[in-house]
Amino acid sequence: MTAVAQRVHLAWVTLEDFSGHALILRGHALSAETIAKVAAEEHITRPKTVEVFWNEHPRVKWCERIDGFGCDENGDWHRHWSAVKPNANESTHFTVMWEADR
């Protein structure tokens, strides 16, 4: 999926080298033009991206039932992603984008 990225969500993410608010885009191998366009729309001057394999849970109310921990929005309808093993299923391909100097 290299044509156009769909902005999925702005969310708090925790990765190996970053923790904070980031954009979650659907797809891997996004073009430089797509990255630049999304970054400009979101006022990100120095975008950093990483490709991840996540399962999307688009409508969750009690997230503690997914991972045993929950989050600040536990009890309200919201969205979650959980890591899965690398695979060819495009529904698990996401790109996370954030400001590089954070």
Q: What Cα–Cα distance (Å) separates residue 1 from each residue in 26, 29, 44, 88, 101?
A: 8, 7, 22, 11, 28
Question: Domain tally for the chain?
Answer: 1
72 CB-near residues (< 8 Å, 6+ apart): none
CA–CA distance, 42 with 13 (Å, rounded to integer): 17
Residue 92 belongs to a domain: yes
Residue 51 belongs to a domain: yes
45-91 pLDDT, tens digit each:
999 999 999 999 888 888 888 778 888 888 899 888 889 999 999 99
Residue 37 belongs to a domain: yes
Residue 38 belongs to a domain: yes
Residue 26 belongs to a domain: no
Residue 94 belongs to a domain: yes
- Reported pTM: 0.84
Domain enclosing residue 48, as ranges: 32-55+83-99
